[in-house]
Structure 1
């Protein structure tokens, strides 16, 4: 039996492109969110991370567990576990349609990246990127519902463990960054 194929874009209710965050600079005293750019996707939020007003549209806010897809320069898919933030341009937030498990959407996008890289290289631009047309042209196999359910039951615990580990790493990094200066200047000691 030949599996049915669908357009990649059909597994998501939308691919939300990030904001030009410089247009949403925070005013004095206003609550802020860190701007999540491709750099933050790799390095996490740092002291150099720009800030954006917390009053950006809610669809451009990202939270732990959201799927991010950088479509410019570095083409990659990841789960975000760096805390709340504002989505910058050149990154899609991918919201799966209700009948497609998040894990399936993530795995399909992640395995399709090599095709997007080839599409970007074929355009011969200095900074490779894909467009919504590429999403419309990309076809993926659609497994039978029973197989999709079995896949989700197997992969979901793995994805949850990855998320939990990333959150723990974030907390341990904060603790290290708080403790290390105190150890270095003698305010704290390890016996």
Structure 2
């Protein structure tokens, strides 16, 4: 078989093995093009790229209908999002919900386990992300790029024997598992904090006040500053993490643009961010990092000015009642958004000093542990991402590892 020798499609490696087409290592099933008529207020979630990046949120669609089983997702399935922003949308995921229906622009990928170990194939796909990003960037139009099935058929690489694959997995998977365990613990701690919030404040009889009466609410720029090779970062909803932001794929802007944006929307440690346009309601608490970025299409809640209310307000924003209120306030026909005015008017209970003292006594240790595990995960991810290409290319020898 003749393989493509283009540098984007022929993956270099010094590992001993068999040259294979990436396409032949798995079955690739694209999702469905759902229509509004398929959707309902409840049922099984429809999994789009937004759900893979951010989880279930206010813009998630649901359906009660039944479709082909090969687009029915179960926990642990491998998914490859092949369309979207090359830097933030093209990636491989392990599906981590009980079930879902697969939307178009995402492949459900089923490895041929006679040729490749399941976990090895997942890490292989993660290692190929820089190639996928470049391929998609070369085809980028109006901000979107694609990695098609034709591209996947062109890609070829050296695949070691299954025993070597398992040795590679034995090195890298424990790091990935630790990151997932930390995330699971963090999710559990957040649920506990949310339960405390619900118990203390869900049935309070006090008259609600407007949000802006107790928290300073601002927004970032809605312009598009010119991107450049170096400078300050410009953060959008694509870069929000539950705690902190992912600057790796963010555009850089000049100091002049950075200063102009931050005249009214300077982000400081202990502030909270929320996406306002497109995928709305993504929440990020800025816990510890030096803030060297500006924000676009983002709400900024200046909890750094009222630190005693930080955890109360974080739970308020993530509560089901608040998310439902935000959904009712959305405007726009082609792209949904919530205005700064609507955010400032959101109803909130103004807690007493004693209530906040008790609430913080209960939830502050939870959030401090979450922040600590988040920081640990950042270090683990850096270690994983450094090791992975060396393992896959054969630069690190795994032949002496006992399974």
TM-score, normalization: structure 1? 0.81
| 1:181 equivalenced with 2:198 (yes/no) | yes
**4+ long deviations beyond 6 Å:** 186-189
1:62 to 45, 57, 73: 73
- Equivalence for 1:46: 57
| 1:77-134 alpha-carbon deviations (Å, 9 max, x no partner) | 1212133211111111111112222211111111111111111222242210111000
- Equivalence for 1:105: 121
- Equivalence for 1:142: 159
Give the Cα–Cα distance (whole angstroms) in 2 for the partners of residues 87 and 170 of structure 1.
Answer: 24
Larger relative contact order (CA 8 Å, sep ≥ 6): 1
Number of paired residues?
188
| 1:119-171 alpha-carbon deviations (Å, 9 max, x no partner) | 12222422101110000011122113331232234444445555555445444
Farther off after superposition, 111-120 or 79-88? 79-88
Q: CA deviation at 1:174?
A: 4.3
SS state of the match for residue 28, structure 2?
A: strand
Q: In structure 1, list runs of 5 or more residues that go unmatched.
A: none
Give the Cα–Cα distance (whole angstroms) in 2 for the partners of residues 89 and 180 of structure 1.
Answer: 38
CA RMSD, Structure 1 to Structure 2 (Å): 2.8
Give the Cα–Cα distance (whole angstroms) in 2 for the partners of residues 36 and 175 of structure 1.
Answer: 26
- Equivalence for 1:20: 33
Give the Cα–Cα distance (whole angstroms) in 1 for the partners of residues 61 and 108 of structure 2.
Answer: 19
| 1:130 equivalenced with 2:147 (yes/no) | yes
Give the Cα–Cα distance (whole angstroms) in 1 for the partners of residues 167 and 182 of structure 2.
Answer: 24
Q: In structure 2, list runs of 5 or more residues that go unmatched.
A: 1-13, 205-354, 362-403
Give the Cα–Cα distance (whole angstroms) in 2 for the partners of residues 165 and 84 of structure 1.
Answer: 22
Greater Rg over alpha carbons, structure: 2
